[in-house]
Chain A
Amino acid sequence: MVLKIFFPRCCNMADSGLLIGHWLPGQDSAVVLAVVHYPFIPGQVKRYLSQLQNESRVELAVLGSWSMPKEGQEGMESFLRDLSTIFPRGRWLQLSREMGKRGFTCQVVHRDGELPRGEGENCKGDNGDGGGVIFIHYDQRKSQPLFLTDKYDDGPLKLTHWQSEGREASIIVELAKQASVPLCLLLTWLLSLWTWLCSSRLLNLPPVRLVSSKLSTCVQLSYRTEHLQTVSSPKRALGHAEFMRKANIFVSFFVDVALGLLLISWLYRENRISRLANTLVPVADRVAKELQELLQWLMGAPAGFKMNRALDEVLGRFFLYHIHLWISYIHLMSPFIESLLWYMGLCACLGLTFALSVLSDIVALLTFHIYCFYVYGARLYCLKIYGLSSLWRLFRGKKWNVLRQRVDSCSYDLDQLFIGTLLFTILLFLLPTTALYYLVFTLLRLVVVLFQGLIHLSVDFINSFPLFAMGLRLCRPYRLAEGVKFRVLCEEPGKPLHLLMEINPLQYGSVLQWYRTPTYNCYPKDSWAALCKKLFVGELVYPWRQKGTKTD
């Protein structure tokens, strides 16, 4: 088996000394963590190691010796060999560098009197004859056991290992950590109060629940509550995924609130709110007027279509009356709209997402008449389509067999046939009128849904975008590793193979995919084909779709 030695790159040019690390049991490989330099007292090294071992619970050992030739330090070989008797282990590695060469040589000395595996100064057999050595150079990042007591070489021993770029800010971090515990507790208490308030009986009455599940502000509120509960739980994050989730939520929450405050600072200056309110009512009025004109157009001969005059007039008058009701409602509301907007704008200090949700709700409420028209049109159209499809079966002398889920032939009575055909004729000739109304109102509704969908998408984007993970990937790519790759560093005959182990950072796409905070899915669940089919048969598409649809 080939002996694999993991060697930190930072120790490449270290002074001679002892190699500290640990053997990976059962894998025939050693991980070098640091180099202890001369001069040292062997007893101190042993004590230091045992202390580290106690603190970190990682089995540490002296792996061997490291020699870096320098002027005036000849004749170390015998000294290094002698060292192996001081630190008794199964195997003793003797690594040495030569001046002016890239690779270094290795000699493995077995304790139990066997011959050294490496022959002479060279380690042969890196082509797999059973006793080869492969050096794998790696980037040392935060080696946990040594960093627990990071004392900047002020101890009795001089070590070479990876040094962090500085921990000056660590005091602030520590203070923040200390302060976060009571803050978290306070937040948890407030949140529990809030959830208790939400779960009170008055707010759980069916109509209230129905309305609140349709208002995107309420949905956003419940998600934020859930997020804050996750973040403020005083328990330590157990795994990497949980930690990343917490951090992502935390960062995106802060960004959200910051954006919201920006919005507020823009909105509440220069009397913008009242200007907005003053334009809102005319806009709603204008929309209603346009709708009225559209209905008048439909009641004539729209686009050359000749519709059934009687039905056309009935439908047109019905919808016109509806718009009339709507306009009076808007005018009744208009004195309060400004103050209403003023208070609603305060929502933005909870975050930009709240402001967007409120906007979506306002749009939904202001276009409620379009929604109503759509529902009426769709219901009427759906009735016609279903009636026509079943009467068409009757027309051909067939019927739908519910038990076998197929069309069977059936002999009808004379009166059934007569009435069925009469109704079929009537429905068929009235279909274009209904279909045109349905088409127009569906298009209007789709425009509104599209707008709301865009708002929901942006809210969902802010909610779920893993900002922290992205930042980590940008600044510390090695923290999010997808795997490792090896590169041949130096391959010379008669010398061990040197490989460089590099960390493969995660792709940005995968970062997004893995660390996306799961949110409520605001995307339509139907495929495009299913949506088109629904539109064609006149089922309601969004929202207020029946959840438990009756099948069969």
Chain B
Amino acid sequence: MFRRDWTGRNPVSKCIIGSLVMGADSDPGAPSAVPWRKVLYERQPFPDNYVDRRFLEELRRNVGVRRYRYWPVVREAGLVTQQLSCVAAFLTLWWYMYQGQLYPFTLLLAGLLCALLGYGLYEALGGPRTEGRTRLADLQSAAIFLAFTFGFSPVLKTLTESVSTDTVYAMSALMLLAHLVTFPYAQPSPPGSLSLNAALFGSVCLASRLPGALHTFAMVTCALLVFALWPCLLHRLRDRAPRGFPWAAALVSLGGIGGLASQSPGGAVLLALAQLALTLLCPLLLLWLQEHKDNIHGPWDEAEIHEDLSRFLQ
């Protein structure tokens, strides 16, 4: 409470800290008959920017800094790794389709199987249901996805016909990168708008290069599974079964690397290296940097109201 009286309520007070300290140092011979009080509502025989020697006593360092341990950080970093792997897996699938080595029916069937399994697992894990979300609503959503994708797939197929392949690749790469950058790793369910949209845009661009409308449909459905539904399941898994989560992440990562290895071993090696760096080196870097953290807090911070104000807000 006392702090709030002194600093006022705006961040501007931070800017005048310098002059306040100067005032304290440059004016040692102030009349000391009246003790100085840190209030602005009284007229005192001191200049407005005067503070006394007790000013820096309230300085505190690294108040809210958390000390991390290595293995939990590695565990969390697994989320990033597996997302990278997801993208790699999707690209591998697309490449197979593009080469004609994977039939859309196969992919659709596999996708359906995965979706059913995933949905079963999701329900089995339990947990709070989103409000107003019944099984019927889920079914409705699924129907909408399928119907729209199926209906639009001929349009999507001809969409980028006249755009050069390089442009499409560049655009997709950019969008998938944007997906990785903006993915909300801390709170992956529901997936953030921008990341999901970027991923869908990129996958639609890629899917439109495929030879047939059914291919496009299968690819977009696959993108939906990988980028929209899988993060939901993973989040549920992390919440409800913390033990199973690292295994799932590792499995997906390995799956991504393995899939890529079947098409281009060099790319797989690169991906594996990147994942290793992300999982093992980046946490080390974080821990090392954390020790150098120097955060100061003090009376110049913005005021925080600790009282419960809910009774004023009816």
Contacts and interface: CB of A to CB of B under 8 A. Distances in A.
A426 B156 contact: yes
Contacts of B205: 425
Given A422-B152, A425-B201, A309 B141 contact: no
B148 A421 contact: no
Interface stretch (B4-12, B54-62, B190-198, B242-250): B190-198
Interface stretch (A38-46, A342-350, A412-420): A412-420
A425 B163 contact: no
User: What is the interface of chain A mostly: helix, strand, loop, or mixed?
Assistant: helix
B156 A411 contact: no
Interface string A39-66: 0000000000000000000000000000
A426 B159 CA distance: 7
A424 B156 CA distance: 11
Interface in A387-409: 394-397
B200 A306 contact: no
B141 A396 contact: no
A393 to B, nearest CB: 10
Contact of A418 (B145, B158, B194): B145
Contacts of A396: 193-194, 197
A424 B148 CA distance: 13
Nearest to B164: A306
A461 interface: no
Contact of A417 (B159, B197, B220): B197
A406 B244 CA distance: 44
Nearest to B196: A417
Contact of A420 (B144, B158, B190, B197): B197
A307 to B, nearest CB: 6
Interface string B176-214: 000000000000001111101100110011000000000
B224 A418 contact: yes
A309 B162 contact: yes
B86 interface: no
Given A414-B141, A415-B141, A415-B145, A308 B197 contact: no
A308 B144 contact: no
B13 interface: no
User: What is the interface of chain B mostly: helix, strand, loop, or mixed?
Assistant: helix
A413 B137 CA distance: 12
Given A308-B161, A426-B152, A426-B156, A421 B204 contact: yes
B200 A418 contact: yes
A309 B152 contact: no
Interface in A294-334: 306-310
Contacts of B270: none
A307 B156 CA distance: 14
B204 A425 contact: yes
A429 B160 contact: yes
B155 A426 contact: yes
A309 B162 CA distance: 8
B252 interface: no
B161 A309 contact: yes
B158 to A, nearest CB: 5
Given A309-B162, A397-B193, A421 B156 contact: no
B209 to A, nearest CB: 13
Contacts of B162: 306-309
A425 B148 contact: no
A306 B162 CA distance: 5
For the complex of A and B, list the 6 residue pairs with the smallest distance between their C-beta atoms, beginning with the closest: A397-B193, A306-B162, A421-B200, A429-B159, A395-B197, A421-B197
19 contacts: A306-B162, A306-B164, A308-B162, A309-B158, A394-B193, A394-B197, A413-B190, A414-B191, A415-B141, A415-B144, A417-B197, A417-B200, A418-B228, A422-B220, A425-B204, A425-B205, A426-B155, A429-B160, A430-B159
